[in-house]
Chain A
Amino acid sequence: MKRSDINIKRLIEDQYLRNLPVPPRSEKDAKTLVDALRAMKETIQKQSAVHQPNVRRVIMKSKIWKLAAAAIVIIAVLAGLPFFGGKGSGVALADVLERIEQVQAFMYRMKMTMTGVMQPGMPAGKNEMEGTITISNDYGMKMETTMADANSGQAMSQQMYFLPDQKVMISLMPEQKKYMRMEFDDDMLARMKKQNNDPREMIKQIMNCEYFELGRSVIDGVKAEGFQTKDSAFLGGAGIFEDVNLILCVDVEKWLPLRAEMYFKMSEQMEMSGVVYDYQWDVQVDASEFEPVIPEDFTAFPAGGMKMPSMTEEAAIDGLKFFAEMSGQYPKKLNLMSLMQEFAAIEKNPTDSALKVKEEMDRIPEEERMKKTMEMMRPVQSLGMFYMTLVQDRKEPAYYGEFVGPNDTDMVLMRWKVSDNEYRVIFGDLTVENVSLEQLKELEAALPEE
Chain B
Amino acid sequence: MQEDKQLISRFNRGDEDALRHIYEKYRDDLFKVAGALLNDRIAVEDVVHDVFVSFASSAGKFRLRGSLKGYFSICAANRARDFNRTMQRQDAVVHNESESVFLSTDEPAHSAIGNELSEQLNYAMARIPSEQREVIILHIQSNLGFKEIAKSTGVSVNTVQGRYRYGLDKLRSLIAGELKE
Where the two chains meet, the residues of A that have a C-beta atom closer than 8 Å to any C-beta of B are 1-3, 6, 8-9, 11-13, 15-17, 19-23, 28-29, 31-33, 35-37, 39-44, 47, 210, 212, 230-231, 242-243, 449-450
Tell whether A230 pairs with B60 under 8 Å between CB atoms, given A16-B125, A22-B32, A450-B146.
yes
Q: Is the CB of B23 within 8 A of A32?
A: yes
A214 to B25, CA, bound (A): 29
When A and B form their complex, what is the total count of cross-chain residue pairs whose Cβ atoms lie within 8 Å? Answer: 125
Q: Is the CB of B168 within 8 A of A8?
A: yes
Q: For residue A344, give the distance in angstroms from its CB to the closest CB of chain B.
A: 25
Q: Is the CB of A21 within 8 A of B107?
A: yes
B137 partner residues in chain A, CB cutoff 8 A:
17
Q: Is the CB of A47 within 8 A of B60?
A: yes
A22 partner residues in chain B, CB cutoff 8 A:
27-28, 31-32, 35
Q: Is the CB of B45 within 8 A of A17?
A: no
| Residues 40-82 of chain B, each 1 if its beta carbon lies under 8 Å from chain A, else 0 | 0000010011001111111111010000000000000000000
Q: Is the CB of A32 within 8 A of B16?
A: no
A31 to B110, CA, bound (A): 25
Our pick among A6, A23, A35, A41 for the contact of B176 (Cβ within 8 Å) is: A6
A35 to B61, CA, bound (A): 19
A277 to B66, CA, bound (A): 39
B175 partner residues in chain A, CB cutoff 8 A:
1, 6, 8, 11
A14 to B59, CA, bound (A): 36
Q: List 7 A-B contacts (CB under 8 A).
A: A15-B115, A20-B102, A36-B23, A40-B56, A212-B14, A230-B61, A450-B147
Beyond A22-B27, A31-B49, A39-B59: 17 further Cβ-contacts under 8 Å?
A: A12-B136, A13-B140, A15-B117, A20-B36, A21-B110, A23-B31, A32-B23, A36-B19, A39-B56, A40-B16, A40-B19, A40-B59, A43-B56, A43-B59, A43-B60, A230-B60, A450-B146
Main secondary structure of the interface of A (DSSP, over half): helix
Where the two chains meet, the residues of B that have a C-beta atom closer than 8 Å to any C-beta of A are 9, 11-14, 16, 19-20, 23, 27-28, 31-32, 35-36, 45, 48-49, 52-61, 63, 102, 105, 107, 109-110, 113, 115, 117-118, 121-122, 125, 136-137, 140-141, 145-148, 168, 171-173, 175-178
A3 to B168, CA, bound (A): 11
A15 partner residues in chain B, CB cutoff 8 A:
115, 117-118, 121
A6 to B32, CA, bound (A): 24
A19 partner residues in chain B, CB cutoff 8 A:
113, 118
B13 partner residues in chain A, CB cutoff 8 A:
210, 212, 230
A32 partner residues in chain B, CB cutoff 8 A:
23, 48-49, 52-53
- Closest residue on chain A to residue B122 by CB atoms: A16
Q: Is the CB of B53 within 8 A of A36?
A: yes
- Closest residue on chain A to residue B30 by CB atoms: A22
Q: For residue A3, give the distance in angstroms from its CB to the closest CB of chain B.
A: 4
A40 to B61, CA, bound (A): 11
**Smallest CB-CB A-B distances: 5 pairs:** A450-B145, A36-B56, A21-B109, A3-B176, A450-B147
A32 to B23, CA, bound (A): 9
Tell whether A2 pairs with B176 under 8 Å between CB atoms, given A21-B35, A36-B19, A40-B14.
yes
Q: Is the CB of B57 within 8 A of A43?
A: yes
Q: Is the CB of B53 within 8 A of A35?
A: yes
Q: For residue B142, give the distance in angstroms from its CB to the closest CB of chain A.
A: 10
A325 to B123, CA, bound (A): 54
Q: Is the CB of A1 within 8 A of B59?
A: no
A44 to B28, CA, bound (A): 27
B105 partner residues in chain A, CB cutoff 8 A:
21
A62 to B9, CA, bound (A): 43
Q: Is the CB of B122 within 8 A of A3?
A: no
A16 partner residues in chain B, CB cutoff 8 A:
118, 121-122, 125
Q: Is the CB of B117 within 8 A of A37?
A: no
Q: Is the CB of B32 within 8 A of A449?
A: no
Q: For residue A158, give the distance in angstroms from its CB to the closest CB of chain B.
A: 33
